[in-house]
Structure 1
Amino acid sequence: MTNLICKAFEGHNIRIVTDEQGEPWFVAADVASALGYTDTDQAIRRHCKAAKSSPVETTGQVRHLFVIPERDIYRLIIRSKLESAELFEEWVVSDVLPSIRKNGGYIAGQEQDTAELIIAKALMVAQSVIDRKTMELQRAQEQIAIQAPKADFADRVAGADKGVLLGNFAKTVGIGPKKIFAMLRELRILMTGGNRHNLPFQQYLDLGYFEVIEKPYEINGETRLAFSPTITGKGQQWLTQKLLAAGYLQAHAA
């Protein structure tokens, strides 16, 4: 690699070297950092398919750094969460690369593109933006797909008159029956300790989300009462949405 070029993009120094054929290679860590990746090594491993180690002279010393070609820059741009990623892409496509290929180095403002080249670069930028937006849409659709079955369940039980045991509700939304009680105690929906352990706080009973069923039983000839909480149709809809919002359904799925 020869002809080290160093230019700044919004406060980030981007080092570029060229190979024997004059093709530019960008220092991968510089690009990843400029695009907002906090773990640049991980970003390079995941997204850069053509990264390779190359000697790069910097601050008077030669160091072996990972460099990437143009196509890997687009992979990093597409997956970047920064709004300035598109500006970085435009800078690379419209400014840096044409100058390097025309002059053998980056000389800002010296490139004079033909109409055909301008159109070609515009198409490259447009396609990259389309790819990025498509990926964002796919991510949103995947999240909706995860949540849809549980949200649909909540809609179906909204008008139900008869409540169900909490353990049965837990199975329906994909949570282990034992986990539901711990989760609701953590959310301060069920009480902890004493003879009211695992029973709803009064405010949730008053709202009509839960009911408590009393069942008599005998022990040593003495009749006692067991209390079992059930969740109403209204409560199932409310609790499903609350658990979704809090991330419990994904984190604690059985």
Structure 2
Amino acid sequence: MTNTNLIPFSFEGKSVRVIKQGDTPHWVLVDVCDVLEIRNSRDASSRLDDDEKGVGITDTLGGPQEVAIINESGLWSLVLTSRKPEAKRFKKWLTAEVIPAIRKTGGYMVATPEETPEQLALRAMQVLQATVDRQKVQIADMQEDVSALDRIAKADGSLCITEAAKALQMRPKDLFDYLSRNNWIYRRPGGKTWLGYAQRCNTGDLEHKVHTVLKADGSEKVCERVLVTAQGLRKLAKLLPSRLQAVA
């Protein structure tokens, strides 16, 4: 597995390299062992579960090199079982600086011995740009949600379920399924018309609209349709397991 997303750290003058595979950081095992004064990294690896260790590839001056790596679970397994005085300082450094930095920005700006100031600055700019790009996506998503919620908040009339689904940015079928499973609407045995439960109508979440339909033979048929009120729509925006749930 080729991986060039290397984040160099320095703990009390010792190199601690982190390789990011996707969004998951992995620590180079030999570096962790050096900090914790564990002489045999293979013995340390043998004490870890299979899902806590693996192999990564990083670039060195001599070309790509295969290194043993451990995930966050494996890291804590070694740190918390170490009795060395360095382990306590290492743990505090990890929790206070390194892991938060990785999770927030994907980088930690410490120059390696081989890195020039210009290279460090370039790496910092790349991390900053990646962070800005992620924030732009988050802002765009928030704007979409705010726009949808604004339409819902300003709704002052009742909507049929299909129209309510459109306002909630979901498929009508999904909204019908949700309402029927959560005791908002029901059908009489053998019937095709959806009706609202009395409790939902009494609380003002639903209402019924009665209208007449002219049949082919000239007679009139009375029909009833359930509608979602503005209050019910706002309530559904908070209850539904959709991307609008963030406002609940």
TM-score (normalizing by structure 2): 0.50
